Amino acid sequence: MKTLRFDPLNIIICGIGGQGNVLASEIVASTMNELGYRVAVGETYGASQRGGSVMSHVRVSETEDLGVLIPSGEAHIIIGFEPLETLRMARHYAGPDTMIVYDPRPVYPLGVLQGNQSYPPIEDIIKELEECSSEAHTVAASDIAVEAGDSKAANIALLGAFSRLTGSPLNTEELSKVLTQRFQGDVLKINQKAFEAGCAAIDEKGGNAS
């Protein structure tokens, strides 16, 4: 069991409905719990079935029983499945010690597709995320998932990237082991491929935890 970089360690996993956010948070929380940490999980949902916001708070401690909600400005890691949702969370929860790993591929809401709303330039989102955190890593998780064989595996690609962050409480071996327990057959192979590619994306940036 790793010593936590911060105690409590606060993790936010965010995106929109249907991207696998809840599964990702459940994997992180249950793995931490099995390793002996005390874990609290809180989730908030927008109109998730229509592509609304979904956010999970995962709080981890070696000794404390924690409340489920992360205080403003006190997230240590943000895992984002959609860039604008990541920015919304970062504006409220990021602080000087926050690390962010996210997929920069936009998922446009209906209002944008209909021309009634605008979506910020992705370059502006990337710049602001870099400015409001200690580290911000883009990982093309959606593209990785498609290349692995299933677009639904983007969440697993981001978990691979998360495992390679210097401040991650879980290492690559621990999360990789969980995949073999959760999935079987071709689904396991696809998720393993996506996970490994997510790891490689961080390693190539020089942000790995080894």
The CATH code of the domain that includes 159 is: 3.40.920.10
DSSP 135-178: EEEE--HHHHHHHHT-GGGHHHHHHHHHHTSTT-SS-HHHHHHH
Q: Is residue 105 part of a domain?
A: yes
209: pLDDT strictly greater than 50: no
Q: Is residue 74 part of a domain?
A: yes
Q: Is residue 4 part of a domain?
A: no
Q: Is residue 3 part of a domain?
A: no
Q: Is residue 210 part of a domain?
A: no
The pLDDT tens digits of the residues spanning 3-59 come to 789 999 999 999 988 788 889 999 999 999 999 999 999 987 655 455 678 899 999
Q: Looking at the 3D structure of the chain, how many domains does it have? A: 1
User: Which range marks the domain in which residue 198 is found?
Assistant: 9-205
Q: Is residue 1 part of a domain?
A: no
- Tokens in use for 138? 């883009």
Predicted structure pTM score = 0.92
How far apart are the C-alpha atoms of 93 and 56, rounded to whole Å? 12
96: pLDDT strictly greater than 70: yes
pLDDT at position 206, please?
67
Q: Is residue 111 part of a domain?
A: yes
Bridge partners, residue 14, by sequence: 55, 80
Confidence of residue 210 (pLDDT cuts 50, 70, 90): very low
